[in-house]
Amino acid sequence: MMLVKTSKKITLISDNKIRLDIDSYYNIISIDGIEFEMKYLKGTPGNRGGNSNVFIIQPTSVEESDDYEPEQYIIKISKFASNGPYSKFIDNRRHRFRREILALKRANQSKLTNVVKLINYGEIAIEDKLFPFYTMEKANSDLNDYLIEKKTIQQKIFLFQSILEGIKQLHNIKIYHRDIKHDNIFMFGEECKVGDLGLIRYKDEDDLALDKDQRIGAFGWETPEAMNKLLTEDKNKPEFTFDCIIDEASDIFQLGKLFWYILQGNLPIGCICFEDFKINDKDLFEILSKLLQHGKDNGNGRRPINISIVETLIAPIAKRYAVT
C-alpha cells in the first residue's frame, strides 16, 4: 500500500469531489517517486461515477510535442476517505472499492487480455483525508464514444465477441461483473476491454450482505433478478420473492442489452419483437431475445446460464458475417 501526497492546491468540494487548480503547475502528485500531472477527464471538470473521482495522469518528466505525446494513465479515487466518518452506507462503498482493486489484481495475475490492466494502488492524501485509489491503463475511448462514428455490422459483431471474451475471462476466475454497460467497456484501437469492477461478486467467496437493500446495476441496465432482490427480498412476503440471485446468467442478460445497444443505439426495455429490431436479421434477433429472457434456463430454452452457450449461439452469426 503506497501513500501518495498531492499539492495543497488540489482540494475537496461537496461530496468529496476533487477540484484541480487552474494552474496545472500545482496539480502534481508523486507515485513511486515519479511525478504526475493530474488532468480532468475529457478536459472538463467532472466525476465519472457516483462513488469515485476519475482523472488522467501523465509524467511531468516528459514534455508533449507535435511528435510525441507522453504515456497517460487513469487514476480512480474513491470519494469515501479511509479516515472519514463511518456509516453502514459509507463502509459498504469503501469495501466495494477495495474489492474492485482486489478483482483487478486477480485479473492481472491471471493475465486476462480483455480486462483493463491495473498499474498500482494505495491511498492519496488530500487536505486531511486519505482516499483509496488505483491507476490503470488509459483507453482511447469508451464504447459510447466509439459508437458515435458509424460502424459496419461486421465491426459490431467483432465487438460482441471481444466483450464476450472479457466477461468469459472474468467468469473463468470466478468473478461476475454485474454492471455491464457501454460506459464500462473501453476501446484500445479496435480492441476492447472490460473495466469498472465496482459491483463484482465472487462466485465462491462473497459477502452477500453488501448487496442488501442496494441497487445492483445502473438505471436501464438492471437484470430482473437485481430488481427482484431490491424490491422483494426479505420484505416479509415470501410469496412474492422470485429469483434474487445475481450471478453468471445476470451478466448474460446485461450482455443482451449491450449487444442490442451496439446494434441500434437504444435499449430493449419491456417486451421486444422483431419489428423493434432495425436490422433485418431474424437469426440475430432470436439470439438477442434469448439473452433477454426474464427467466433463466431450467431446461426449457430460456435465458442461457453460462457464457459457453452464448458463444455457441454467436459463432454461426460471426461466420455468416465473415468475422473471425
What is the arithmetic mean of pLDDT over 238-258? 82
Q: Domain 2-137: state its class.
A: alpha beta
5, β-bridge pairs: 125
What is the arithmetic mean of pLDDT over 233-246? 67
- Grid cell in block for residue 242: 422470485
pLDDT digit string, tens, across residues 215-226 = 666 667 787 787
Query: 165: how many CB neighbours lie within 10 A of its CB?
Result: 19
Helices (H), 147-247: 153-172, 224-231
Q: What is the CATH number of domain 141-320?
A: 1.10.510.10
Residue 125 buriedness (CB in 10 A; 0-12 / 13-18 / 19+): middle
Nearest CA to 73 among 29, 113, 107? 29
Calculate the alpha carbon distances from 302 to 241, 254, 290, 319 in Å: 20, 15, 6, 24
Is the pLDDT at 68 greater than 80? The verdict is no
Q: What is the CA radius of gyration of the chain?
A: 21
* pLDDT score at 20: 93
Q: Where are the domains of the chain?
A: 2-137, 141-320
Residue 72 buriedness (CB in 10 A; 0-12 / 13-18 / 19+): middle
Model confidence at 114, pLDDT cuts 50, 70, 90, reads: very high
Output 233 or 194, whichever has higher pLDDT.
194
Exposure string for 227-241, b = 16+ CB within 10 A, e = fewer: ebbbebbeeeeeeee
What is the arithmetic mean of pLDDT over 218-237? 71
Nearest CA to 103 among 170, 52, 165? 170
Q: Does the predicted TM-score (pTM) go above 0.85?
A: yes
What is the arithmetic mean of pLDDT over 128-145? 93
Cα dihedral 289→290→295→301 (10° resolution) = 140
Instruction: Mark residue 305 as left, alpha or beta (left: phi above 0; alpha: psi -120 to 50; beta: remaining).
Output: alpha
Domains 2-137 and 141-320 in one fold: no
pLDDT digit string, tens, across residues 3-62 = 888 888 999 988 888 999 999 899 999 998 889 999 998 765 655 667 899 999 999 886
- Grid cell in block for residue 119: 498499474
What is the arithmetic mean of pLDDT over 270-281? 88
Nearest CA to 292 among 316, 318, 263? 263
- Grid cell in block for residue 133: 485509489
